[in-house]
Structure 1
């Protein structure tokens, strides 16, 4: 009997698996085995299988639950090939609900490009999987911790980076090795503050059954005209996390006034710290999923100041 492969590849589609069709549009066509062949990896290097086959912009929470369950079932180093559009969200879910040596990678150029970046990224990811102890994203020669990662460029090879200030990763939400709590059925909406905004969208989200809200706020955490709706959400027991729509820097709720960050924080809004709105949403979803699975009151994890 041959020894088990040290690294498992779970492919989900994305640009790394895409080729151009007759109409020129990119669609995922390459399988996990194809990706390994493209990268010069053999079955002795990687045990390859397909978990999903889609564009990551179409990934649902149910799809993510299936992927998390597949990663959990492996029980060893895992590489996940994934579209870059929503990779930071999946990376956060992996970090908060699983942990361990999981490496996410993808590509900015399709498999049939004259100079694809996917094969090198996959080789780097397989190498990293043998040494990392926690979830990371590997692209363009860079390795970035999953907690705090964000897509920083739409086309550059080094697609992902981290915050410009250190991130204090909070305590795990679950015991290592625990099965991931399901996310499907929860709803957390991201709402953006802008000049002239009012609370219409906040109220619409609440009417739609939002379990939580993330605000992509002005500057360091000011919400302007969204504030009355945020107050109604907090009064209804719906958690609200303040992030910033600005590319760099975090939330520092120091401004007063009706929509100021300090006013909202005093009313109970949480800070997303340096997390992107997308990652803060997934962080909150993971907290809610764990609390739903075990309703014993817990102190919410995540940046709180």
Structure 2
């Protein structure tokens, strides 16, 4: 069996420079060599895709990565893909990989909270675990991190530094078939956070420059009246709006009335994100726009009645 390792940078590929900052200096070849798989029946081919902090990954970068993964899985001699990635936007990339039809074969993403040269780094274990998951042939898109195997759909970084920094949110299964690959960069989506008393300034300013909006609302999907009025204008202008929540757990339900209430905005066409938080909701909305898929159907799954807490 042969796997492709696609290196995109991130902390797992960083070393500490003289001023104490972390810089991605470690190549994919070095990461592959650190696995120590010489003599293994499984070969690794390395693709040096990027050397970035993942907070800098644009939708255009993501489009190129999706194409790269599809090209690798289209090869008859490649049995799966391992992606080394920064943790800041790993959940967005994982969801995008889950949404599109990229071919058969497992896709596993991993990264690290500590740099490559840290004396007690977590990258080697995460990389080894990700490699073993690939060797198992488990189908799907997975985040392997801190000893956990997490579906790409609903993955979230819940802690800035703990070594088990990713969790699975209950977002439910989708009934939609994998989407045909289409460019996301042509459909920018903005995330705007609500807070008590927020006005419509940012919503109004975004309208000439965005294809869709995700509102990170309060509670189960609410915002103040002034911001709600701005969202109303966006909807009336034909800009799709998805409402998520800043609350860590639970689903978004558009239940309250009033100018900024979720129920009022839902009646005007806003869509609740369900269990998805703003980061993955942005990717889902961009994918819906890119493929002409109904936005409501993208978010129509129902999470199971399970309580999840970070641990």
Normalised by the length of structure 2, the TM-score is: 0.89
- Give the 3 Å change call, closer, same or farther, for CA 282–170 of structure 1 in structure 2: farther
Residue aligned with 2:298, SS: coil
- Does the 8 A contact of 1:110 with 1:118 survive in 2? yes
Q: For residue 99 of structure 2, what is the aligned residue in structure 1?
A: 96
Post-superposition offset of 1:49 = 2.1
Q: Is the 8 A contact 1:287 1:301 kept in 2?
A: no
The structural deviation recorded for 1:302 is 1.8
Which of 263, 287, 302 is the matching residue for 2:298? 302
Structure-2 residue corresponding to 1:21:
17
* Correspondence list, 1:1-305, <5 A: 5-42=1-38, 44-75=42-73, 76-98=79-101, 100=104, 101-130=106-135, 131-163=137-169, 165=170, 167-174=172-179, 178=180, 180-207=181-208, 209-224=209-224, 225-291=226-292, 300-304=296-300
Gaps of 5+ in 2: 74-78, 303-311
Secondary structure in structure 1 of the residue aligned to 2:297: coil
Distance in 2 between the 1:282 and 1:52 partners? Answer: 20
Asked if the contact 1:14–1:84 (Cα under 8 Å) also holds between the matched residues in 2, the reply is: yes
Distance of 1:227 and 1:105 partners within structure 2: 38
Report how many residues are paired.
290
Is the Cα contact below 8 Å between 1:173 and 1:287 reproduced in 2?
A: no
Cα displacement string for residues 204-240 of structure 1 (whole angstroms, at most 9, x for unaligned residues): 0103x21000010000001223101110111111110
Q: Alpha-carbon deviation of 1:6? A: 2.4
Matched with 2:76 is none
Residue matched to 1:294: none
Q: What is the root-mean-square deviation of aligned Cα atoms in Å?
A: 1.7
Tell me if the contact between 2:66 and 2:97 (Cα under 8 Å) persists in the aligned partners: yes
What displacement does 1:169 show?
A: 2.8
Q: TM-score, normalised to structure 1's length?
A: 0.90
Q: What secondary structure is seen at the aligned counterpart in 1 of 2:239?
A: coil
Gap regions ≥5 residues in structure 1: 292-296
Partner Cα separation in structure 1 for residue 274 and residue 285 of structure 2: 13
